[in-house]
A and B are shown apart, each in its own frame.
Chain A
Amino acid sequence: MGTAVGVGKSTHRRCRTAGSTAAESALAGLGGHKPGLVLAFATAGYDQEELLRGVSEVTGGSPLAGCSAEGVITHEGSDEGSHAIGVMALASDRLTFDTFSSGDVSAEPRSCGERLSEQLRAAPAGGKLLLLFADGLTANCTELLAGLTERLPYPVAIVGGTAGDLLNFKRTYQYCDGRVASGSVSAVLIGGEARPDIEVSHGCDLIGLEQTITRAERGFVYEIEGRPAWAFFKEYLESDAEDLDALTVAHICLAELLPRANLDYGEHIIRVPLKLEKETGALFFAGGLKAGTRVHVAMRRPERICERAVASARRIAARHPGEDPLLVLQFDCAGRGRLLFGERTNEASIQPVQRVFGNGVPWLGLHTYGEIAPVEGRAYFHNYTLALCALYGAGGS
């Protein structure tokens, strides 16, 4: 049979109906085969438990992974409405699928990563791609990745994103084998004849002088250049800004120097604050900045975001001439969607990337609170990026 992939989407307001409708559409692409894996991304307007019940009603006991999202991306475009779910179903006799999960990523991100690593070791060998969906508000993903990659049993490409909640910054959800959890990581290992190809790009420019993080702990940055982190940020905002809202998050960020620069990606990795601890003025970065790290303030550039996103898609396609991927997964920062491009999001940043691969390639994506993708062979947690993962079969499909 090879590999069959189907994608479905629903915006129905009734949770269970939305889940089952999207799953039915996805299963329609499998030619009657039972899915070996079901991926689901849904916006947080839904009761997530009820939503997954709807999906499972249709997909039965097939392994299910995914997370809540700020928006859902399919060939219909990006949908950041309160009620949207995208489902991808895969059936294959050439690929293998194993799902894992690990809790408590908020308090113990490194241990959480280590536990995932142990689960990988226990899984059948031959994994090629590890998909990660982590809590978007509480996880220090740099620590998570450190724990995960320190003792990996074999090299595996890691890509993924962190869950969103419609920019309300209250609670995100991860789908761990059909269960809904928060403060967790959901993971999928794809093996067999899979050839993943991943690119990641941002479109930010550095501004001003280099600064030093002078105090940081457990993902919280307390001081930059000896000043409270929030006071430092406010110098770039209105002086009366009281809270870290989505518009602020989308406006400025920090850029940390990469140990090994990449010509296409650039020399810096982007870090965005997600939470403000008002009592101390500390800012939480899911990228986990440490004291002593030298950073620049950075700003996004819409034109550059679009150019680099298309360029990264073209680089993938160029590496596989005459070959269509089995599927494409898109992990796109929530700050690069409607927040930046408004009503022009699809025409500006989504469709140009999709056109590189054509409309026939199954496509599912989400707007994340952070992205996970490798640069120079090492998995990093990013912000403000597009992580694009095209999965090719053995010798083409």
Chain B
Amino acid sequence: MPARAPPPDEVSTLIRQNRELNEQVKQLVRAERQLYLSRREVERQLGRTHALNRFALEAGGASEPGEILRALSEMLAGLFPFEQGLGLLVQGGRLVPAAVFALPGREGKGEEELSGRAIALDRAFADELPSPRVLSEPAARKELPRSGPLLDLLSHFFCERAGCPVQPGVVLWLPLWRKPGELAGLLLMRKAKEETTFHCELPADRDSFLEVAARHAAAAVSNALLLDDLKRSYGTLERTQAELVAKERLAAVGELAAVMAHEVRNPLGVVFNSLGSLRKLLGDVRDGAALLDMMEEEADRLDRIVGDLLDFARPKPPNLLPEALEPIIFGAIETARRAVPNRGVDFQVEVRGLGAVVMDSRMIRQALVNLLINAVQALPRGGRVRVLASEEARGGEPFARIEVSDDGPGIPSESAMRLFEPFFTTKASGTGLGLAVVRRFVEAHQGEVAVETSPERGTTFRVLIPVGRG
């Protein structure tokens, strides 16, 4: 039996309901599309947030501003189609290149080309760029009229390469503002061509994400610079503290030395006078004269020790006068010869093209005597002591360089490190003040003294003092 046709009213109701359902389906599809677009945007923003967090962590742990700029470039190249980056820091009113970044195949001239390419920071240019801009290179030349030198710098880094034709690209100008009016740096990110892909679009001009990233970077760069300043301040503080302690010690030693000098030298004066009187009284009595010689020698030694102590602990300001160095060297050699019995030591002196040197000749002579005595004492079986004086330039200034070398067995490294410390000695009868006095006198001339020693080549003390002609 054939199915009964539905009544016409029912058919029209069904058709109407069907149409209504179809309209509802369309609405659902539109809603799903909105949902899809929203989800896509949320994923995009999440991706950016994750990238920013990773960058913040990396930048927070970086101690070099260049590292921070490289990390920022890498993050931006991961999110946007940029291929090259150049990070600049503001230093002393200039924009100084501090980091380069490039994807494989887009490399420029590299880190080694960074130095010597600083350009003056044009304040007006900084004012032109309050927020991130994404501009083609021709557009940048129009809209940022002062951007020319920076575009030229980019070309220098990334375009002038054999086989790499220069193509106008798109540049992200990302100013790193520490706070309004205070620029910490500038990051330029470049893409060779203007075409982009669907999945990796250029950021919008004045993109707020870029502003946040720039603020992070500026803060991290500032922190890194502050940390660097802090480290340097700590270093200075440590040195100052050490100097202060040394000075206090020296002052105490100086007081002691003054008292000791007074208490020892007065009796010594009496001893010397008495010795003189005894010589006259005893006349030619041989044994007596020998005993007197011995007493005088020991009294002399005591006097020298007191003298060394005073030189070290209460040095007088140098009396600077221009003098020739050569006679001072020969005088010092003669004193050293007398001070140490001759053990077959051969002295060689060479003075090369050195005119008058502004110095306290007493101090320099005493310093040389001390060095020469040390050198002779290092040659118990004889040998050669060489004195070489010449002129050398340092930082554009002329310096007198005096080297005292022996061909002895050298100094053990553990001793060499402490040679200039006061009261440090390896000799049974030494006071440990000879080399400390050398350093004190040389430093009083704004000079420096150093030692090189090895078992094969002996020991060389090198003294540098400014010639001071000007």
A303 beta carbon closer than 8 Å to chain B: no
Report chain B residues within 8 Å CB of A12. Answer: 104-105
Report whether B29 and A299 are in contact in the complex, using a CB–CB cutoff of 8 Å: yes
Report chain B residues within 8 Å CB of A17. Answer: 105
* A296 CB to nearest chain B CB (Å): 11
**If the complex has contacts A247-B37, A343-B43, are A168 and B26 also in contact, measured as CB distance less than 8 A?**
no
Residue from B26, B36, B104 in contact with A251 in the complex, judged by beta carbons closer than 8 Å: B36
* A208 CB to nearest chain B CB (Å): 4
Which parts of A200-233 form the interface with B (CB within 8 Å)? 207-209
* B295 CB to nearest chain A CB (Å): 91
Report chain B residues within 8 Å CB of A166. Answer: 197-199
**If the complex has contacts A81-B197, A168-B198, are A13 and B29 also in contact, measured as CB distance less than 8 A?**
no
Question: In the bound complex, how far is the Cα of B109 from the Cα of A233, in angstroms?
Answer: 52
Report whether B197 and A209 are in contact in the complex, using a CB–CB cutoff of 8 Å: no
Question: In the bound complex, how far is the Cα of B106 from the Cα of A17, in angstroms?
Answer: 11
B200 beta carbon closer than 8 Å to chain A: yes
Report whether A209 and B83 are in contact in the complex, using a CB–CB cutoff of 8 Å: no
A247 and chain B: residue at smallest CB distance: B37
**If the complex has contacts A80-B197, A251-B33, A299-B29, are A13 and B105 also in contact, measured as CB distance less than 8 A?**
yes
**Chain A 81-123 near chain B by CB (<8 Å), digits 1 or 0:** 1110000000000000000000000000000000000000000
Report chain A residues within 8 Å CB of B197. Answer: 43, 45, 80-82, 166-168
Report chain B residues within 8 Å CB of A168. Answer: 195, 197-198
Residue from A13, A80, A236, A297 in contact with B104 in the complex, judged by beta carbons closer than 8 Å: A13
Report chain B residues within 8 Å CB of A14. Answer: 105-106
Residue from B18, B30, B106 in contact with A238 in the complex, judged by beta carbons closer than 8 Å: B30
Report whether A82 and B200 are in contact in the complex, using a CB–CB cutoff of 8 Å: yes
Question: In the bound complex, how far is the Cα of B21 from the Cα of A207, in angstroms?
Answer: 11
A58 beta carbon closer than 8 Å to chain B: no
Report chain B residues within 8 Å CB of A236. Answer: 26, 29-30, 33
A356 beta carbon closer than 8 Å to chain B: no
Report whether A81 and B33 are in contact in the complex, using a CB–CB cutoff of 8 Å: no
Residue from A207, A246, A252, A342 in contact with B198 in the complex, judged by beta carbons closer than 8 Å: A246
Residue from B32, B103, B199 in contact with A299 in the complex, judged by beta carbons closer than 8 Å: B32
Report whether B29 and A207 are in contact in the complex, using a CB–CB cutoff of 8 Å: yes
Question: In the bound complex, how far is the Cα of B45 from the Cα of A343, in angstroms?
Answer: 12
Report whether A209 and B105 are in contact in the complex, using a CB–CB cutoff of 8 Å: no
A338 beta carbon closer than 8 Å to chain B: yes
Report chain B residues within 8 Å CB of A45. Answer: 195, 197
Which parts of A294-329 form the interface with B (CB within 8 Å)? 297, 299
B47 beta carbon closer than 8 Å to chain A: yes
Question: In the bound complex, how far is the Cα of B196 from the Cα of A45, in angstroms?
Answer: 8
Report whether A208 and B199 are in contact in the complex, using a CB–CB cutoff of 8 Å: no
Q: Bin the interface of chain B by size.
A: 20 to 34
Which parts of B183-221 form the interface with A (CB within 8 Å)? 192, 195-200
**Chain A 55-98 near chain B by CB (<8 Å), digits 1 or 0:** 00000000000000000000000001111000000000000000
Report whether A80 and B103 are in contact in the complex, using a CB–CB cutoff of 8 Å: no
Which parts of B82-130 form the interface with A (CB within 8 Å)? 83, 103-106
Question: In the bound complex, how far is the Cα of B195 from the Cα of A43, in angstroms?
Answer: 13
Report whether A208 and B37 are in contact in the complex, using a CB–CB cutoff of 8 Å: no
Report whether B29 and A343 are in contact in the complex, using a CB–CB cutoff of 8 Å: no
Report chain B residues within 8 Å CB of A247. Answer: 36-37, 40
A11 beta carbon closer than 8 Å to chain B: yes
B175 beta carbon closer than 8 Å to chain A: no
Q: How many residues of A contact B (CB 8 A)?
A: 32
B81 beta carbon closer than 8 Å to chain A: yes
Report chain B residues within 8 Å CB of A342. Answer: 40, 43
B25 beta carbon closer than 8 Å to chain A: yes
Report whether A13 and B43 are in contact in the complex, using a CB–CB cutoff of 8 Å: no
Question: In the bound complex, how far is the Cα of B106 from the Cα of A45, in angstroms?
Answer: 14
Question: In the bound complex, how far is the Cα of B379 from the Cα of A281, in angstroms?
Answer: 106
A289 beta carbon closer than 8 Å to chain B: no
Question: In the bound complex, how far is the Cα of B335 from the Cα of A9, in angstroms?
Answer: 81
A282 beta carbon closer than 8 Å to chain B: no
Question: In the bound complex, how far is the Cα of B197 from the Cα of A235, in angstroms?
Answer: 28
Report whether A252 and B29 are in contact in the complex, using a CB–CB cutoff of 8 Å: yes
Question: In the bound complex, how far is the Cα of B37 from the Cα of A167, in angstroms?
Answer: 17
Report whether A237 and B43 are in contact in the complex, using a CB–CB cutoff of 8 Å: no
Report whether A209 and B198 are in contact in the complex, using a CB–CB cutoff of 8 Å: no
A269 beta carbon closer than 8 Å to chain B: no
Question: In the bound complex, how far is the Cα of B104 from the Cα of A252, in angstroms?
Answer: 38
Report chain B residues within 8 Å CB of A343. Answer: 43, 47
A18 beta carbon closer than 8 Å to chain B: yes
A208 and chain B: residue at smallest CB distance: B25
Report whether B81 and A13 are in contact in the complex, using a CB–CB cutoff of 8 Å: no
Report chain A residues within 8 Å CB of B104. Answer: 11-13
B38 beta carbon closer than 8 Å to chain A: no
Question: In the bound complex, how far is the Cα of B196 from the Cα of A251, in angstroms?
Answer: 22
Report chain A residues within 8 Å CB of B32. Answer: 299
**If the complex has contacts A12-B105, A208-B22, are A338 and B199 also in contact, measured as CB distance less than 8 A?**
yes
* A224 CB to nearest chain B CB (Å): 13
Report whether B105 and A81 are in contact in the complex, using a CB–CB cutoff of 8 Å: no
Report chain A residues within 8 Å CB of B18. Answer: 209
A248 and chain B: residue at smallest CB distance: B33
B39 and chain A: residue at smallest CB distance: A342
* B50 CB to nearest chain A CB (Å): 10
* A221 CB to nearest chain B CB (Å): 18
* B425 CB to nearest chain A CB (Å): 67
Which parts of A20-48 form the interface with B (CB within 8 Å)? 43, 45
Question: In the bound complex, how far is the Cα of B198 from the Cα of A246, in angstroms?
Answer: 8
* A358 CB to nearest chain B CB (Å): 29
Question: In the bound complex, how far is the Cα of B29 from the Cα of A45, in angstroms?
Answer: 34
Report chain B residues within 8 Å CB of A167. Answer: 197-199
Residue from B22, B37, B195 in contact with A209 in the complex, judged by beta carbons closer than 8 Å: B22
Question: In the bound complex, how far is the Cα of B32 from the Cα of A194, in angstroms?
Answer: 45
Question: In the bound complex, how far is the Cα of B197 from the Cα of A342, in angstroms?
Answer: 14
B81 and chain A: residue at smallest CB distance: A82
* B49 CB to nearest chain A CB (Å): 13
Residue from B26, B195, B199 in contact with A80 in the complex, judged by beta carbons closer than 8 Å: B199
Residue from B40, B105, B192 in contact with A18 in the complex, judged by beta carbons closer than 8 Å: B105
Question: In the bound complex, how far is the Cα of B457 from the Cα of A319, in angstroms?
Answer: 83
**Chain B 28-57 near chain A by CB (<8 Å), digits 1 or 0:** 111011001100100100010000000000
* B56 CB to nearest chain A CB (Å): 20
A-B contact pairs, 8 of them (CB 8 A): A13-B192, A14-B106, A81-B200, A166-B197, A166-B198, A167-B199, A209-B22, A246-B198
8 nearest A-B residue pairs (beta carbon): A13-B105, A167-B198, A14-B105, A166-B197, A12-B105, A208-B25, A236-B29, A82-B197
* Besides A166-B197, A237-B33, 14 new A-B residue pairs in contact (Cβ under 8 A), listed by A number: A12-B104, A13-B192, A14-B105, A45-B195, A81-B199, A167-B197, A168-B198, A209-B22, A236-B30, A237-B30, A238-B30, A251-B33, A299-B29, A342-B40
